Structure 1
């Protein structure tokens, strides 16, 4: 067992950085965790790195950020970082205890010491969607980020938009195809999408309703490509959402919880990507398409998008952090596309870049999130 996993006696808060997971965003979670492990202040915190494999095993892992980066277009995985092929980490099930235990077949379980706070660097289902947050609530361990409800709503594009609408936030046209609709009557479901396109125009974007990092998204120019796009989206989530093309600029804004409440960062702009149909996974993480920080907006536009970002944060009852994504339409109106309750934290990710430009360095950003989590207790939020 490495020195990273020994029981600490320093009196410093102990942070379990949890990453990987069962979603299609496994590799990006590993990259994100590597950046956090590089930045976290070891003079202030003890760190326990825990990776969740693609099949759901919780493993002790290396804490070497260099092994957690994308190298030569190769994506990292928890399996490559695990210290044992069959050892498992167990969280406490008693809210009165925060002791983490390591088990390995044929060996006596080993206590790894108490954990004071969890930094869940997971993206997508089984991590960002309220499932892990529910487990941590049951365990009685504080954690960074939003609670169960906000995490679930922030993961589901349909219900996110419904919440936004109920709070008066502007959203673009969309249509939802539920699993039973496509399974029972694909012709009727297909007609629903075609009618939507007739009302709002081609192309449309077909997306998994509960996925991230642009996985499973297809820009569909006409009826010929529709079925293939639906099947691609359904390979990530049986519920899909169809959105119309909004003509305008892509603007992002970060929200961070301070002691006196949430504040918005300077916004960023994602310029059109010439090598891709849209800002997809390859553009974000492999080809490293870069946004402009700060976005070239007027003072009035900047203030407006910052106001909307904080309103979205509060509408969904978020905590800790959020990245809010908008379109600035040709008409001058901002429309909110979605929020991410655990946005990417890679070195090239927009959320930390926006806060860097706003005067909050990467290490300070990590520290503020941990301190906000330590101030909160688990329980109903």
Structure 2
């Protein structure tokens, strides 16, 4: 089939229906690939050319429809990616070379695995990879980075000349638990005792919780969540990536995918977390508080969402980037992937050697974690 290749700088050039129809045709899609989520990032200015995320979505069109696409950005920095290449940036700088601009395929500020090569057929997928190779080789980009693709797509990219990098996240898997207590019964005695103690501290402090579905979230709920979100960044001396307009947009355009957990004490809110979900997976995104209490973070960001998963028969809870402490709460290590191409041959060789060593370390780390998993031995 002959495809017409396009690069567009706005999702409006594609259209909501055309984009979402392609996304829904994929086996491994999630809410972050939806038009609503991506458009909210762009139109709010959170991920835009002005903020260093210049959209350059790569499309393959047939006569009748969108056959393949790739979320693609020209990046002027490496913030908001969660696969860290700062050492590579520094190596380029010390050798008098420019690392930026670079090409990046990712969902901005979202370390969640999902399709990056959106294609209706294997033929269209192969053509999309070929189009990407042509884009990166005919423009002055130092490199191309595809973050958090599923493993199968990572290996497709490897065959096309990309180098693979692995990482670790921690996910909770629902074994058909009837309630939170049944889940606790599967953990070893020490972990079970610690979780009960953590939950008791929060309850005895007089904290109560509201699980607010997106359809029920008010303007006050969103404003309070944004206040908590900003406070978390301020405590880490960082600038928040996302603005209130973004949160309002996803609240209005994808409310069935939204869960807010709000903690209240003495009749006033003191903490909040935001989670995104579909029928199978709950994704922990952000949390924050305006009053510090022991174990409040664990209850707001983990235990309340776990109860939501159990009650709604959601199969998996992805707790977000990093966080070895999640294992003590029933989360297990899962390997993640990214794929990288560098134009400079010498740097490509050096980074390929580094990635091989790093991969051995990641595999050993996962093996060690699995040896200390939190569940009772049979």
TM-score by length of 2: 0.30
Q: Which has the higher helix share?
A: 2
TM-score, normalised via structure 1 length: 0.29
